[in-house]
Structure 1
């Protein structure tokens, strides 16, 4: 099934070769702002995240995918589904849709373009009945993407001491 191609993007599994791109992504203070975490300061942090994601592919058969811009063949971030195995907002063992792009690629519609096939993959391949999404309340751009791809706002909730919005879509 992978890679998945859209009009402008290629979605594929992350690999250790994506470490520099992942470091650029997570060392960007603009990206970290809505995550309420400190930007990465070393490439080793990016390598650790990639190792964690590779383990998710192995354990669950799904994890976030690398997003590659077709025109430049450049890593621009990640998108896709993750099986959440710890309790969040009174839910456990659910698929969460998410995306994170290097800030210079914001505003081009890439988050929406990459998230749509991830939803389809979740329903068609993973046979999910419901897929959830969440974002910090202040991250209106992310909330807009979730709604553009069809998720419905459910409620606000607290996650790690930060107000979040909770969304869902059923098959």
Structure 2
């Protein structure tokens, strides 16, 4: 399956090996990883491994995060999209085998509405094309921006839970509620 979505300002497509510099810029930034365990990558080899991991998800799980490209500049901005979390290793808040929505952008693209724009497109893709019944999201309580985005795109707060000593909000959106 080839993934390609477009919004007014964005192209969302599969992540390619050629995105390595963008992935490195994204995932080596401590500010990006402030609410992600504070463990940014330090080598291009790690960026390559991140790309391979996402590409394997496309093949094995039928879905994965999309590269976000700014139409006006052609710049790699980060990623956004859906992920099938499988098995005990990827369980979260007591859930296994679930679809979650996520986004991660290079800081120079923050505050411009790109995360919401891409997430709206990914929700539509998930419910209309992939026929998912429910999509989940999670955000560190202190990550105000991510919590606002999840709420803005329509996900509803279900509960709060502890993840490795961090308080996290758990959100969900059912297809029936999305269609309203």
TM band (smaller chain): over 0.9
Q: Match for 1:92 among 96, 99, 118?
A: 96
Q: Distance in 2 between matches of 1:36 and 1:119?
A: 26
Query: What are the equivalent positions in structure 2 for 1:26-45 lying under 5 Å apart?
Result: 26-45=27-46
The aligned counterpart of 2:120 is 116
Runs of 4+ in 1 over 2 A off after TM superposition: none
What residue in structure 2 maps to residue 139 of structure 1?
Answer: 143
Q: Deviations over 1:21-73 (max 9, x none)?
A: 00000111110111123221111111000000000000011000000000000
Aligned-residue CA RMSD (Å) = 1.0
TM-score by length of 2: 0.92
Name the SS of the counterpart of 1:33 in structure 2.
coil
Could you give the per-residue CA deviations for residues 89-139 of structure 1, whole angstroms, max 9, x where no partner exists? 111111000000001110000000000111111111221111000011110
Q: Equivalents in 2 of 1:48, 1:84: separation in Å? A: 18
> Aligned partners of 2:12 and 2:110: how far apart in 1?
17
Gaps of 5+ in 1: none
1:161 positional shift: 2.5
Partner Cα separation in structure 2 for residue 81 and residue 45 of structure 1: 21
What is residue 57 of structure 1 aligned with on the other side? 58
State the TM-score, normalized to the length of structure 1: 0.97
| Aligned mates of 1:92, 1:19 — CA distance in 2 | 30
Do the aligned residues in 1 keep the contact of 2:66 with 2:79 (CA within 8 Å)? yes
Counterpart CA distance in 1 for 2:123 and 2:148 is: 16
Matched, 1:150 2:154: yes
CA distance in 2, matches of 1:135, 1:74: 26
- 8 Å CA contact 2:12, 2:68 repeated in 1: yes
Q: Which residue of 1 aligns with 2:178?
A: none
